[in-house]
Amino acid sequence: MSSDLFSPLTLRSGSVLPNRIAKAAMDEGLGAYGQQPDERLATLYRRWGASGAGLLITGNVMIHAEALVAPGCVVLDADSPLEPFTAWARAGKAAGAVMVMQIGHPGRQIPANQPGVVWGPSDAAVDLGMFSSRIGKPVAMTTAQIEATIARFAVTAARAEEAGFDGVEIHAAHGYLLSQFLSPLVNTRTDEWGGPLANRARLLLEVVRAVHAAVSPGFAVAVKLNSADFQRGGFDAEDAARVIDMLAPLGVDFVELSGGSFESPAMAGRAADGRTRAREAYFLDLATELVATSPLPLMLTGGIRRRETARQVIDAGVAVAGIGTAMALNPELPRRWRENDGATAELKPVTLPHKTIAFAAGMAMVRYQIQRVARGGEPRPGIGPIPALVRDQLGDRRALARYRSWMNTRARSHGATNAAARAVP
């Protein structure tokens, strides 16, 4: 085994990763009432923090309470109480891992039955075939909404630093809002936020600048970027290389490479063109091309399950290997790899024919493992895709009821505050 897998990495901000293995972001679905973290997330990240991974990246924390990719998401905004986030950061860092909060906005990838807003660079809806009606119909963002979103990213980053996190990762992949602006298929704007790639990348670059201005120099700022969207005519590897070049002068610590979106879930090995199916390190070929010219350290995530594959990723010049599903199935995986244990684990194969259902079922199987560990239990890889999907849907239904209740309470509270402010002479 290459020793490089367990060598430290010093980031631009000064943070030192103890090794090159990261627990990659996965959707935990564990937001409590008020979309806050609770003891379940602390338990989960305390376990992962003791795994031997050098870097822990949280699941996607939402910057806008009215825009969640799922009702079980955590929100960190100007109104969020900070103590639950402080406890979460403390738990993840207890054994020496670097703890980074992934922050993002889903844009148009929002369930149609949720309250709130559905925004995008244009009004182009997500195309999921027979399931398209389950996703909200977006409206094109105004300039004021774009500027407010940039400010929300900065607020969330500043509050993450205040809570004790070591950095943030700005999510610009997987078809979320910043990825939508990068996509020539979704972003059909004709103003300064659309058109050529330099304009389509403007929102991401402005977010990075605003986040840097809101945090201290020692706070890490990373970006998650698609190596490709895996859609004909979409964002591709050449675009990714150009965006990485644009990010380099802004002081980004590293760029995590992934791929795909709801429409083409390559991040789950199910790209629309089939190129990532049934193999590990889905995006390694594209990452190898990007490593050759990248001025920034790269992290690669997607389908890494075995120590040999992680070593192959590092040997290709990638700085950090991100492990997702394999860490949900085996929370001690990095430590076992260091002890020369070739441990891994796999879920039952998902053979459902429709890619949207198969993607949802696969995600549900992973969340089931995560939530068992968060309750203090052990993973149970034997669960099948249909039982996991049913459990997940029932959990989402309960989470949606909590979210609606909280949103109603929040709206009443904000209304009362605004009325009081107007009454002040």
The Cα–Cα gap between 198 and 380 comes to 46
Q: What is the pLDDT of residue 276?
A: 40
User: Each residue of 253-296: pLDDT tens digit?
Assistant: 999 998 877 776 655 554 444 444 335 667 888 888 999 999 99
The Cα–Cα gap between 208 and 38 comes to 28
Q: What is the pLDDT of residue 279?
A: 59
- Burial (0-12, 13-18, 19+ Cβ within 10 Å), 22: buried
The Cα–Cα gap between 425 and 420 comes to 10
Q: Which residue, chain included where needed, has tokens 């990261």?
A: 22
Q: Which residue, chain included where needed, has tokens 């193999």?
A: 279
Mean pLDDT (10-residue bins), the chain, 425 residues: 79 97 96 98 98 97 97 97 98 98 97 96 91 93 98 98 98 95 96 97 98 98 89 86 97 92 61 46 84 95 90 94 94 92 78 84 95 97 94 96 96 67 46
Q: What is the pLDDT of residue 265?
A: 64
Q: What is the pLDDT of residue 364?
A: 95
Residue 162 identity (one-letter amino acid): E
User: Each residue of 79-132: pLDDT tens digit?
Assistant: 999 999 999 999 999 999 999 999 999 999 999 999 999 999 999 999 888 888
Q: Which domains does the chain have, with CATH numbers?
A: 3-417 (3.20.20.70)
Q: What is the pLDDT of residue 348?
A: 80
Q: What is the pLDDT of residue 83?
A: 98
Label residues 60-97 b or e (16+ Cβ within 10 Å = b).
Answer: bbbbbbbbbbbbbbbbbbeebeeebbebbbbbbbebeb
Q: What is the pLDDT of residue 302?
A: 84
The Cα–Cα gap between 70 and 138 comes to 16
Angle between helices 355-374 and 385-423 (to 10 degrees): 80
Q: What is the pLDDT of residue 127?
A: 86
Please answer whether residues 208 and 252 qualify as being in contact, where contact means their C-beta atoms are separated by less than 8 angstroms. yes
Q: Please calculate the CA angle 367-372-377 and round it to the nearest 5 degrees.
A: 155
